[in-house]
Amino acid sequence: MLRISVIRDSQKGTRFEVEGWLVGPWVEELRRLSDQALAESGKLSLDLEKLRYVDSSGVALLRNLASRNVTHLNCSPFIQQQLKEATPCR
Protein backbone atom coordinates (compact mmCIF):
# COMPACT_ATOMS: atom_id res chain seq x y z
CA MET A 1 0.00 0.00 0.00
CA LEU A 2 1.16 3.53 -0.73
CA ARG A 3 0.08 6.83 0.76
CA ILE A 4 0.87 10.08 -1.04
CA SER A 5 0.27 13.32 0.84
CA VAL A 6 0.34 16.43 -1.33
CA ILE A 7 1.74 19.64 0.10
CA ARG A 8 1.56 22.72 -2.08
CA ASP A 9 3.63 25.86 -1.58
CA SER A 10 3.29 28.56 -4.20
CA GLN A 11 6.95 29.55 -3.85
CA LYS A 12 8.52 26.11 -3.56
CA GLY A 13 6.22 24.14 -5.85
CA THR A 14 4.72 20.84 -4.76
CA ARG A 15 6.02 18.27 -2.29
CA PHE A 16 4.74 14.72 -1.99
CA GLU A 17 5.22 12.78 1.21
CA VAL A 18 5.45 9.19 -0.02
CA GLU A 19 4.78 6.50 2.57
CA GLY A 20 4.68 2.71 2.33
CA TRP A 21 5.52 0.46 -0.61
CA LEU A 22 6.08 1.83 -4.12
CA VAL A 23 5.13 -1.29 -6.10
CA GLY A 24 2.77 -2.44 -8.83
CA PRO A 25 -0.16 -0.11 -9.57
CA TRP A 26 1.11 2.47 -7.07
CA VAL A 27 4.04 3.24 -9.36
CA GLU A 28 1.66 4.42 -12.07
CA GLU A 29 -0.33 6.46 -9.56
CA LEU A 30 2.81 8.28 -8.43
CA ARG A 31 3.79 8.79 -12.08
CA ARG A 32 0.39 10.30 -12.87
CA LEU A 33 0.42 12.63 -9.86
CA SER A 34 4.02 13.66 -10.52
CA ASP A 35 3.34 14.47 -14.16
CA GLN A 36 0.34 16.54 -13.11
CA ALA A 37 2.29 18.42 -10.42
CA LEU A 38 5.18 19.14 -12.79
CA ALA A 39 2.77 20.44 -15.43
CA GLU A 40 1.06 22.71 -12.90
CA SER A 41 3.94 24.11 -10.86
CA GLY A 42 7.12 23.03 -12.62
CA LYS A 43 8.72 22.11 -9.29
CA LEU A 44 8.32 18.88 -7.38
CA SER A 45 10.07 17.24 -4.45
CA LEU A 46 9.45 13.82 -2.96
CA ASP A 47 9.87 13.26 0.76
CA LEU A 48 10.81 9.58 0.94
CA GLU A 49 11.41 9.33 4.68
CA LYS A 50 8.52 6.89 5.21
CA LEU A 51 8.99 4.94 1.99
CA ARG A 52 9.80 1.37 3.04
CA TYR A 53 10.23 -0.56 -0.20
CA VAL A 54 10.53 0.15 -3.93
CA ASP A 55 10.28 -2.50 -6.67
CA SER A 56 12.21 -2.26 -9.94
CA SER A 57 9.50 -0.25 -11.73
CA GLY A 58 9.38 2.13 -8.76
CA VAL A 59 13.15 2.59 -8.89
CA ALA A 60 12.89 3.32 -12.62
CA LEU A 61 10.20 5.92 -11.94
CA LEU A 62 12.20 7.62 -9.18
CA ARG A 63 15.28 7.71 -11.41
CA ASN A 64 13.22 9.15 -14.26
CA LEU A 65 11.77 11.83 -12.00
CA ALA A 66 15.27 12.69 -10.76
CA SER A 67 16.34 13.20 -14.37
CA ARG A 68 13.47 15.70 -14.62
CA ASN A 69 14.88 17.70 -11.67
CA VAL A 70 12.56 16.23 -9.04
CA THR A 71 14.32 16.38 -5.68
CA HIS A 72 14.36 13.32 -3.41
CA LEU A 73 14.36 14.22 0.29
CA ASN A 74 15.02 12.13 3.43
CA CYS A 75 15.86 8.78 1.82
CA SER A 76 16.58 5.80 4.02
CA PRO A 77 19.97 4.16 3.40
CA PHE A 78 18.17 1.28 1.66
CA ILE A 79 16.30 3.53 -0.78
CA GLN A 80 19.35 5.73 -1.26
CA GLN A 81 21.39 2.68 -2.27
CA GLN A 82 18.80 1.78 -4.89
CA LEU A 83 18.79 5.31 -6.28
CA LYS A 84 22.49 6.16 -5.98
CA GLU A 85 23.05 5.88 -9.72
CA ALA A 86 20.42 8.55 -10.39
CA THR A 87 20.76 11.26 -7.75
CA PRO A 88 21.75 11.67 -4.12
CA CYS A 89 19.01 12.25 -1.58
CA ARG A 90 19.18 15.39 0.49
Q: How confident is the model at residue 3 (pLDDT cuts 50, 70, 90)?
A: very high
Query: Can you give the pTM of this predicted structure?
Result: 0.87
Nearest residue to 43 (alpha-carbon basis) of 75, 27, 65, 19: 65
* Residue 89 placed within a domain: no
Beta-strand ranges (E) seen in 23-89 are 44-54, 71-73
C-alpha 78: how far from chain center: 15
Residue 90 included in any domain: no
Q: Does residue 88 lie in a domain region?
A: no
**How far is Cα 90 from Cα 42, in angstroms, rounded to an integer?**
19
Instruction: Please state the domain count of the chain.
Output: 1
Task: Please write the tens of the pLDDT for every residue from 27-81.
Answer: 999 999 999 999 988 899 999 999 999 999 999 999 999 999 999 999 999 888 8
d(CA 48, CA 74): 6
Task: Residue 25: give the domain boundaries.
Answer: 2-83
Mean pLDDT, range 7-32, rounded to an integer: 92
Domain CATH number, residue 29: 3.30.750.24
